[in-house]
Amino acid sequence: MKKYNVAILGIRGAVGQCMYRIVKERKFPINKLVLISPSGAGGQLDGHNYVPLTRDVFNGVDIVLSSPGAEISKKWAPIAAKAGAVVIDNTSQFRMDPNVPLVVPEVNPEDIKKHKGIIANPNCSTIQMLVALKPLHDFGRIKRIVVSTYQAVSGAGAEAVSELEDQLKGKKTVKKFPHPIAHNLIPQIDVFVDNFYTKEEMKMVNETRKMFHDQKIQVCPTCVRVPVKNSHSESINIETKKKITRAQAIRILSKAPGVKVVDDVKSSVYPLPILADGRDETFVGRIREDISIPNGLNLWVVSDNLRKGAALNAVQIAEILIKSR
């Protein structure tokens, strides 16, 4: 098996650390692993020293798994691509660039072939939603999506997790969010834009349309931060052109790649963040037909936002990439 020189850009972050664990777990064929820290050298992981971010660091690198923040990606991803690497970028920088494919392997793997050196990883909340919805879309054609997210604090980084833990211990520090998150819900993720939706919500709209190749699909999101350490949850209502019954949905989703149906309400069995934590699957439950419209369906979807919502998705793209070489 051919082996590849792989770099992880942003190794000190939660996603960078998760990328490292996943390439090890999945036995990605690595010849040389380069751990790049934009904040500078110093530190190591399993004997791999962190190296600073310079132009020379990309020489000979085949694949860059990148999660250093949008501004750093804006400058350095094109430099890495020019040096001959394929950059799989987890930031928001390139997602809506028409020249950069935006990919979830279970949704639109064919778009990987269109890359010109950079492939974008979608937003975490969009990834898990579309993993669950794509097989239903293929069967019944989704016209409209109404989604409410319940997003864990790990989506805002390690400092946000620490802030939740500190507040649960009684500390009053509020830095990462506009309000205390412990014992609270915050119906704002990212800043508000002119239409009174947040940037996080508009990501879900625009990314869905791009990956489904359908600018007419209607998406109405509300994104909420909740006092959960890890794993995002979503309540999703869809309206389809062709009716999908509960039984059909269960059958379709049970066969779908990356999906695990957890739906036994008589035994109080349904997806929970605590059960999805550390797992690769997107869990779907509370599947039921919408009683207010003829062709509606409700789903409850939970996934580990650091794994499938970020690091795992990037590694899966890399796995498809090397199979095509």
CB atoms within 10 A of CB 323: 8
The crossing angle, in degrees rounded to 10, of helices 199-212 and 124-140 is: 40
- Distance, CA of 308 to CA of 315 (rounded, Å): 10
Strands 296-303 and 282-289 turn out to be antiparallel
- Distance, CA of 142 to CA of 244 (rounded, Å): 10
Q: What's CA 198's distance to the chain center, in Å?
A: 17
198 and 191 Cβ atoms separated by less than 8 Å: yes
Strands 118-120 and 259-261 turn out to be unpaired
User: Residue with structure tokens 């805002």?
Assistant: 156
Task: Indicate if 124 belongs to the active site.
Answer: yes
- Distance, CA of 93 to CA of 74 (rounded, Å): 6
Given 18, 115, 124, 137, which residue is catalytic?
124
Given 115, 137, 223, 232, which residue is catalytic?
232
Task: Indicate if 232 belongs to the active site.
Answer: yes
Among the listed residues 208, 233, 231, the one whose alpha carbon sits nearest the alpha carbon of residue 95: 208
Q: Which residues are catalytic, by number?
A: 124, 232
